[in-house]
Amino acid sequence: MSWWKRLVGIPSKRVLDLACVVALVALVLISWSMVDPRPIPVILAMSVGQVLGTLSFAAFLVVVVRDLRRAQLNDVSSERGSPAERPAPGEPSAPSPPAP
Amino acid sequence: MNLSFLAIVSLACALGAAIILVGYLTRRPALTGMVKVWLLLGLGVLPIGAAASGNLQGYETTKQRSFCADCHVMSPQVSDSNDPHSGSLSSRHSRTALFGAENCYVCHEDYGMFGTVLTKADGMKHVWLYYTQYLHVSAEAAKSRIHLYQPYPNESCMQCHSTTDTIWQSVPDHTAALAAVRTNQVSCASVGCHGFAHPNARPPVAP
């Protein structure tokens, strides 16, 4: 499952950059169908636009869940006294727990 | 350009989302909690608003006669519907408030349980056929090729003309053909009754 590891290892910023571009394409398609309501723009907006928009939002959710999980793992490891999990390259490190 | 309320909402949501997304892509801030909240708006809330209102508007758009007229092979039917002096069924119905600018859809809609979905699926088929077979066919030549898939169902007429009204039943031809009308053996839109619906209408041909 090397492809999965590679997919999970993609930095959050890169995923979000891609999601933003894909979402912009979807928004252009939707807007096009509003100002030019002919069959092709309307069909593209209601099919390709929907799929691209959903994919970009799903990518955002994946990043948020992944970051939350990483922060959670960091908390657990710091409570046990083991070294904190290292963030992926290009990722900001998770905030350290407040001093007691 | 005449934009409806839904179209304006969709465009406003799309514009708001685009501003956030372009701002993120150009400024490239660190992924703090606040940035993620902005991205939730730009990638989630506003695009969902744009898509939801856009879908509703798109659905309404596909019901308009002007939308059907975008395929040039429909122009004879649409021109007839738009003609206030035409006596065809489609033109007369287009002059009533219930049908109005949506008369193509109201008459050709499937009124069954999954009617809307089936009607839209048929519409997709028409788009496919248009771009694969009719794009370069003149409207005049298409007149002799376009036909219904099956006889026009009287159930569609009976959505308004119930056949139970006393005035309707007082017409001798109606009374004589009552059973045949209700069982689709005689079409309301046939020659000799009230048809054809369009000036160039042809009998249905099996696909």
Find the closest chain B residue to A32 by CA distance.
Answer: B11
Of the candidates A13, A27, A43, the beta carbon closest to that of B14 is on A27
Rounded distance between C-alpha atoms, residue A45 and residue A70, angstroms: 36
Same domain, B53 and B89: no
pLDDT digits (tens, 9 = 90+) for B79-129: 999 999 998 999 999 999 999 999 999 999 888 888 888 898 889 999 999
In a domain, residue B206? The reply is no
Strand ranges inside chain B, DSSP E: none
In a domain, residue A46? The reply is yes
Q: Shortest CA distance to B71 belongs to which of B1, B129, B148?
A: B129
Q: Shortest CA distance to B75 belongs to which of B151, B168, B137?
A: B137
Eight-class DSSP state of B70: T
- Once rounded to an integer, what is the mean pLDDT over residues B8-15? 98
Same domain, B193 and B177: yes
Same domain, B54 and B75: no
Q: Shortest CA distance to B170 belongs to which of B178, B158, B159?
A: B178
In a domain, residue B148? The reply is yes
Q: Is the pLDDT of residue A89 over 80?
A: no
- Check: CB of residue B70 under 8 Å from CB of residue B108: no
Share of chain B above pLDDT 90, in %: 70
Same domain, B123 and B22: no
Strand ranges inside chain A, DSSP E: none
* Residue B17, domain extent: 5-62
The total number of structural domains in chain B stands at 2
The total number of structural domains in chain A stands at 1
In a domain, residue A95? The reply is no
Q: Which of B21, B46, B62 is the last residue before a domain boundary?
A: B62
Same domain, B135 and B34: no
Helix (H) or strand (E) holding B84, with range, is none
Helix (H, G, I), strand (E, B) or coil at B4: coil
CA A49 to centroid of chain Cα atoms: 18
In a domain, residue A70? The reply is yes
Rounded distance between C-alpha atoms, residue A76 and residue B103, angstroms: 65
In a domain, residue A14? The reply is yes
pLDDT digits (tens, 9 = 90+) for B143-173: 888 888 888 899 999 999 999 999 999 999 9
In a domain, residue B56? The reply is yes
Same domain, B86 and B183: yes
pLDDT digits (tens, 9 = 90+) for A50-81: 999 999 999 999 999 988 888 888 888 887 77
CA B138 to centroid of chain Cα atoms: 22
Same domain, B90 and B156: yes
In a domain, residue A94? The reply is no
Same domain, B57 and B78: no
Of the candidates B21, B70, B127, the beta carbon closest to that of A20 is on B21
Substitution target in A27, A48, A64, A91 with the highest count of B β-carbons within 10 Å is A27
- Check: CB of residue B27 under 8 Å from CB of residue A37: no
pLDDT at A77: 83
Which residues are within 8 A (CB) of B80 and not within 5 positions of it... i.e. 6 or more apart?
Answer: B86, B88, B90, B91, B198, B199
